[in-house]
Amino acid sequence: MSKQATPQLFAAVDLGSNSFHMIIVRIVNGSIQVLSRLKQRVQLAEGLDEKNHLNQAAIERGVACLALFAERLQGIPAANIRTVGTYTLRRAVNNQDFLDAAKAVYPFDIQIISGQEEAELIYSGVSHTQPENGRKLVVDIGGGSTEMIIGDNFTPLRAESRHIGCVSFAKQFFDENKISEKQFNHAYQEALTRIEDLSWDYRNLGWQSVLGSSGTIKTISQIMLENFNKDGIITAENLRQLTELVLKTDSLDKLKIAGLSDDRVNLFLPGLAILRAVFETFRIEQMRYSDGALREGVMYGLEQSFQVDDIRERTINSIMRNFAVDREQAMRVSNTANLLFKKYARWQNLTQTDELQSILIAATKLYEIGLVLNHSGIQKHSAYMLQSMELPGFSPEQKQLLVHLVRFHVKSFKNMELPQHESYFHRQDIIALTLIMRLAVIINRSRQATELTENYILHVNHDATQWELEFENGYLARNPLLLTDLNEEQELLKALDIQLDIKGGNE
């Protein structure tokens, strides 16, 4: 037996103005698997004075962090590690002092990148981890700078980095513990002034979706999730309401908002002011948080094979390889599900049909991964495994629907709960997709012995409570086990108040 090749390890290190981040991954079957993430709050930007001189205390904090990172990076080839410095190290006139001190404990090259390159790497990190296709606006509010990028799919069209960040604005506009409308408005107006020249050009290019990354936007998204929208979407109106709520308090000590962690309190107000200015300048209606950002962009730039046109397809194929999925069976179920999907004509949200179809096909390819644990309860095993995985290319709402389809592809509907993000997908569409998935699995339960056919007729009434599935003459007579399974499904569907009629079997 040939010796199995050792998976390659890669690492990306981001020396940010507020925190240093490190991500270590390995490549398995063409997919990136995260082994560890490490974050240290260094507050480098706090050590930058008005003459852009980085003080010794900040240098020592940064070097101490890099010493910890270096220990974790032992054994990874230097060629597989990329370390980048951003805004504060760009601005520091004595950044060489930092680099010289770092060499003593950190034996890897540190590259101080331009604002333009930082913006492009952020866009790459978002694009390679999020499901949105087409033209998108990406915004990243960091400790020292804010990046704003418009791109098509994986290609940035316009990328800008401006000197507005939550750490630098905290120093400039906010007293340590005081909250005042005057301070907030000064920060907000300054942010507007620094980005207003981008407004016309960006809005002229346009976009189909808006994504935000890094700590400030993550925090505000979490606050939205806890207090406003259960999907965590940031809207212009909710930002206004959040600002009014915050300004009712006169000190940070008294600021208690669900979703706001203690370690973000001091940076929350300047970050909120900057985000309000971004929404106003570009007339953004809503934004979704992306957990991919600069370090992911650095990572995907390390190896050409990481970069693909279809992130979701890469994720699915990797999982199928890792868990030895029967691809022929997956294709049979997928083809049947696709056929039934096209015959179903009662979708409530027509703008989501492509999205629903894509998630359905993903479910047909992944529903059997739980076989590696046990055939008994496969639906529970598969759903649990998918719920526990990072799934690049799937938004939280899409992942929950995928897990739901896999969880209820077989057995009873007892204790069935609709996905957490039911408000994103229509309830009737979720139930219809579930039933299509179940029928596709039932029709192909004989696996390689399945008699393949595309001659189905599907009739569904207006509220999708009565389904009629008609087969070609003699098909069910030749496949009596299928008829038995469909009869059982009729009984199970009564729990959802759905009537399933089967025709065309005994001629």
Check: CB of residue 68 under 8 Å from CB of residue 40.
yes
Q: What mean pLDDT comes out for the span 454-475? A: 89
pTM: 0.70
**pLDDT value at 29 more than 70:** no
What is the distance between the terminal CA atoms of the chain, rounded to a whole angstrom? 55
Q: Choose among 144, 59, 143: nearest CA to 103.
A: 59
| Residues 41/21, Cβ–Cβ less than 8 Å | no
Kindly state the percentage of the chain with pLDDT values over 70: 95
**Which of 166, 171, 175 lies closest to 145, judged by CA?**
166
Contact 157, 120 (CB under 8 A): no
Q: In the CATH hierarchy, which fold is given to the domain comprising 116-291? A: Nucleotidyltransferase; domain 5 (3.30.420)
Burial class (CB in 10 A: 0-12, 13-18, 19+), 441: buried
| Packed helices 327-343 and 427-443: angle between N→C axes, nearest 10 degrees | 130
- Which of 22-36, 182-196, 261-275, 338-352 tops mean pLDDT? 182-196
Identify the residue whose tokens are 């400790």.
Answer: 143
91-118 confidence digits (pLDDT tens): 999 999 999 999 999 999 999 988 888 9
Q: Which CATH class is domain 9-113?
A: alpha beta
How confident is the model at residue 365, as a pLDDT?
95
- Report the pLDDT averaged over residues 187-191: 96
Percent of residues, the chain, with pLDDT higher than 90: 54
What is the 3-class SS of 207-263, one letter each residue? CCEEEEECHHHHHHHHHHHHHCCCCCCEEHHHHHHHHHHHCCCCEHHHCCCCCCCHH
Say if residue 4's pLDDT is above 60.
Answer: no
Distance (Å, whole) CA 139 – CA 119 = 9
Residue 367 has pLDDT above 90, yes or no: yes
Mean of pLDDT values over 412-437: 80
Which two three-digit tokens encode residue 453? 């056919």
Looking at residue 242, its pLDDT comes to: 94
Sort 462 into a burial class: Cβ within 10 Å, 0-12 / 13-18 / 19+. exposed
pLDDT tens per residue across span 221-265: 999 989 988 788 999 999 999 999 999 988 888 888 988 888 888
What tens digit of pLDDT does each residue of 379-413 get?
A: 999 999 999 887 877 878 888 899 999 999 998 88
| Residue 195 or 48, more confident | 195
Nearest-angstrom CA–CA distance, 174 and 187? 8
Instruction: Answer yes or no: same fold for 9-113 and 311-503.
Output: no
Q: Above 80 in pLDDT, residue 268?
A: yes
Q: Return the CATH class of domain 311-503.
A: mainly alpha
Locate tokens 């069935």: which residue? Answer: 416
Mean per-residue pLDDT of the chain? 88
Listed residue (25, 13, 147, 24) closest to 84, CA to CA: 13
The least confident of 23-37, 120-134, 191-205, 345-359 is 23-37
Supply the pLDDT for residue 321.
Answer: 84
More confident position, 421 or 454? 454
**Between 314 and 461, residue with greater pLDDT:** 461
Q: What is the pLDDT of residues 318-345, one digit of tens each?
A: 889 888 899 999 999 999 999 999 999 9
CB atoms within 10 A of CB 201: 11
Structural domain spans, the chain: 9-113, 116-291, 311-503
pLDDT of residue 386: 92
